[in-house]
Amino acid sequence: MVQNTSYQNCIEACQECAAECLSNVVSMLGKKSDNACPKCCLECAAICRLCVEMMAIDAKFASEACRLCVKVCEWCAEQCAAHDHDHCQQCAESCRRCVEACQSVAK
């Protein structure tokens, strides 16, 4: 448990989303894509990592980071969801869970 325990759920959602997104980038290498997936996953992993760090240190700008994360994750979920691959569908789901968790923090 980090200092500010109200962040715990969102930290976990961001951690999971970051790992899923990186994993999806690798799964998509060499595959054709007709949209921003898997580039969006690289962006999404990066902002999720930032949010984890910001919340872990109970940062002044944690909620602003989460607000940006909501936008990136929503876009990433949309892009990945358009691909039939299991890994893309799974990534989209992680992103959606992350959107919800970050929305609570961003308020």
Q: 30 vs 107, which CB is nearer to its own copies?
A: 30
Q: 32 vs 107, which CB is nearer to its own copies?
A: 32
Q: Does 68 bind its own copies (CB under 8 A)?
A: yes
**What span, in angstroms and rounded, lies between the C-alpha atoms of 48 and 39?**
14
Residue 29, C-beta contacts closer than 8 angstroms, at least 6 positions apart:
38
Number of H helices, E strands in the chain: 4, 0
Q: Which two tokens stand for residue 5?
A: 């325990």
Which residues would be at the binding site for its own copies (CB under 8 A)?
1-3, 11, 15, 18-20, 22-23, 25-33, 36, 38-40, 42-43, 46-47, 49-50, 52-61, 64-65, 68, 71-72, 75, 87, 90
